[in-house]
Amino acid sequence: MELRDYLRVARRQWWVVAVAVLVALGVTQAINRRTPAEYAATAVFFLSANGPEGSSVLEGSMFVAARLKTYTELLTSDRMATEIVDSTKVKLSPADIQDRLEVTTSGDSALLTVTVTDVSPQRAEKIAQATITLFPPMVKALEARPAPPAPAHPAAVVTPIEPVARLDPDPVSPRPLHNDALAIAVGLLIGAASGVIREVCDHSIRVAEVLPGLTGTPVLALIPVDAKARKKKGPFISDSRSPRAEALRQLRTNIQYAAGPGKILAVTSAMPGEGRSSTACGLAILFAEAGQRVLIVDAELRRPRLAAFLGREGSAGLTTVLVGAASLDQVLQPWGAGLWLLASGHRPPNPSELLDSPKMAELIDELRGRFDKIIFDSPPLLPVTDGAVVAARADGALLLVRARKTTGAQVAAAVRALAAVDARLLGSVFTMVAAPRRRLGLPTSADTAGPPLPPAPRPGGWHAVALSGAA
Write the CATH number for 54. Answer: 3.30.70.1130
* Same structural domain, 19 and 111: no
pLDDT band with cut points at 50, 70 and 90 for residue 230: low
Q: Average of pLDDT values for 25-37? A: 90
Q: Are 145 and 154 in contact (CB under 8 A)?
A: yes
* Same structural domain, 382 and 244: yes
d(CA 24, CA 182): 9
* Same structural domain, 68 and 183: no
Residue 168: is its pLDDT beyond 60?
A: yes
What is the DSSP pairing of strand 264-269 with strand 238-239? unpaired
pLDDT, tens only, 232-269: 444 445 667 788 889 999 999 999 998 888 899 999 99
* Same structural domain, 321 and 361: yes
What is the DSSP pairing of strand 219-224 with strand 396-402? unpaired
Q: Average of pLDDT values for 213-226? A: 92
> What domain range includes position 305?
205-466
- DSSP H helices, 89-226, are 94-100, 121-143, 176-201, 211-215
Phi, psi of 203 (to 5 degrees): -105, 15
d(CA 239, CA 460): 9
Q: Which helix (H) or strand (E) holds 50?
A: none
471 belongs to a structural domain? no
Tell me the residue length of the chain.
Answer: 471
Sequence-distant (6+) residues with CB within 8 A of 404 are: 204, 205, 206, 432, 434
* Same structural domain, 407 and 331: yes
pLDDT number for residue 187 = 92
Nearest to 266 by CA among 371, 386, 410, 352: 386
Q: Average of pLDDT values for 19-40? A: 92
* Same structural domain, 18 and 98: no
Nearest to 220 by CA among 449, 432, 429, 437: 429
pLDDT band with cut points at 50, 70 and 90 for residue 134: very high
DSSP 357: S
CB-based burial of residue 365 (10 Å sphere; 0-12 exposed, 13-18 middle, 19+ buried)?
A: exposed
pLDDT band with cut points at 50, 70 and 90 for residue 467: low
pLDDT number for residue 200 = 77
pLDDT, tens only, 270-293: 999 999 998 999 999 999 999 999
**Domain termination residue (choose one: 147, 167, 187):** 167
48 belongs to a structural domain? yes
Q: Average of pLDDT values for 44-65? A: 66
335 belongs to a structural domain? yes
The structural domain count of the chain equals 3
pLDDT number for residue 153 = 56
* Same structural domain, 254 and 333: yes
pLDDT number for residue 446 = 37
pLDDT, tens only, 331-354: 999 998 899 999 999 999 999 999
Does residue 379 have a cis peptide bond before it, meaning omega lies within 30 degrees of 0?
A: no
SS3 62: helix
d(CA 292, CA 333): 16
DSSP 204: B
